[in-house]
Amino acid sequence: MKEIEGGVTAAKGFKAAGVHAGIRPGKTKKDLGLIFCDVKCAAAGLFTTNLVKADPVLLDIETLKDPYAQAIIANSGIANACAPNGMKHAREMQKITADAMGIDADLVLTGSTGVIGMELFTECIADHIGELKKELVSDPSGSDACARAIMTTDTVKKEYALEAMIGGKPVRIGGISKGSGMIHPNMGTMLAYITTDCAIAPSLLKKALKEACAQSFNRISVDGDTSTNDSLIILASGLAENPRIEEAGEDYQVFRALLSTLCVNLARKMAKDGEGAKHLITCSISHARSVSEAEQLAKSVIGSSLTKAAIFGCDANWGRVLCALGYAGVEFDPAKTDIRFASSAGRIEVARSGRGLAFDEELAKKILSEDEVVIEIDLHDGESEVTCWGCDLTYDYVKINGDYRT
């Protein structure tokens, strides 16, 4: 596989756009995005595990009972969650888009992100849907505009695209995502939209999406909060004209690897762009008894406020890492556990067999001062390994969330 340009417009048949519609009064950024395909697509989605679900999420779950779609309309600024007339406005958003694009309403998926509890008045969407349709393009600028339209506290846009040969045909896949805070497995306060021109049965598209999500978005954490609006959606146009994937054979495995690589890239970008974050934290667990146990342990480390604070302070306080392992709810032997810190500045072992080692504090500080830091943990207890991603906890996180609504 190879990296290409284009984000959600890289695959054949897809266009995208983003405009400022005035969703939230007083804001001037792009806040309304649209992804549209020339043809009806196979579709699949995964959504928040929070029992409190935003109305656009509930509407998408209902719409995807028939696993086909042709458009995704999404706004930032207001989450349309726990809000007055939430479902009414979500359906209006769906119908406004369908009427403008000349398709059935049940081929439109909706997404919202932003402040919970505020009413989303759809007049501004109706007023700007014509402009949004006019702005639709199939080049990278369309993906860029759409990626920026769904951002809230994100500091950078998040998009990626790849290409690989499947069934003798070049198949493209691309995605955009947003998410910076209120991120915790499983999935985060994220909108992630993926497009591909692969020809694949809807059932296998859903299967691949679940497997890719488990290895990516479900392995990141910023702050321990699971959002009401998490949505991960993929559309497949089939325009690559590869032999349609109907079973989990070799072509399916290539597609799954392509999708997983894309999702890991977007997930890492979300973790690195955690609200106020200075460091991307990667936690790698090796020689665990099972993947599920390794994942539970790694998530405990990246979710530990004390570990996150230590990385922010460039303090090689490995005891906080071992402590986080200890309350993860997984049986392991601390007396077999080794811990190392690593980055582009080097690698240093700080604990062996559960006991501290004498180490160069200056080198450790230099290693932890890089913007990407790896915590390597060897359990010496099996053959499984897992990697999860998080970020440090900074003063700015509190500042950003202290007055987010006001």
Q: Which of 48-52, 87-91, 112-116 has the lowest mean pLDDT?
A: 48-52
Catalytic residue among 122, 153, 189, 228: 189
Higher-pLDDT residue of 400, 219: 219
Q: Is 60 helix (H, G, I), strand (E, B) or coil?
A: helix
Q: Other C-beta atoms within 10 Å of 331: how many?
A: 8
pLDDT at 295 over 70: yes
The answer to whether the Cα torsion of 220, 158, 231, 149 is positive or negative is positive
Tell me, what's the pLDDT at 271? 86
Residues with Cβ < 8 Å from 101, sequence gap 6 or more? 36, 70, 71, 108, 133
The domain segmentation of the chain, as residue ranges, is 2-272, 280-402
Asked if the model's pLDDT at residue 224 lies above 80, the reply is: no
Q: Check pLDDT > 50 for residue 183.
A: no
Would you place residue 149 in the very low, low, confident or very high pLDDT band (cuts 50, 70, 90)?
very high
What is the rounded distance in angstroms from the CA atom of residue 219 to the CA atom of residue 293? 13
Q: How confident is the model at residue 226 (pLDDT cuts 50, 70, 90)?
A: low
Confidence of residue 273 (pLDDT cuts 50, 70, 90): confident
Is 261 an active-site residue? no
In the predicted structure, residue 182 carries a pLDDT above the cut 80: no
Quote the DSSP letter at residue 200.
Answer: B
Please give the mean pLDDT across all residues of the chain: 93
Residue 80 confidence class, pLDDT cut points 50, 70, 90: very high
Q: Are 79 and 89 in contact (CB under 8 A)?
A: no
Give mean pLDDT, residues 182-192: 60
> What local confidence, expressed as pLDDT, does residue 188 receive?
45
Overall average pLDDT of the 213-233 stretch: 83
Residue 180, pLDDT score? 65
52 vs 36, higher pLDDT: 36
Task: Work out the angle between the directed axes of helices 305-312 and 318-326 (0-180°, nearest 10).
Answer: 160
Task: Answer whether residue 199 shows pLDDT above 60.
Answer: yes
Q: Which fold has domain 280-402?
A: Ubiquitin-like (UB roll) (3.10.20)
* pLDDT beyond 50 at 187: no
Say if CB 260 and CB 211 are below 8 A apart: yes
The verdict on domain 2-272 having CATH code 3.40.50.10860 is: no
Query: At residue 91, does pLDDT exceed 80?
Result: yes
Tell me the pTM. Answer: 0.90
**Hey, do 2-272 and 280-402 end up sharing a CATH topology, with the first three levels equal?**
no
Give dist(CA 267, CA 97) in Å, integer: 29
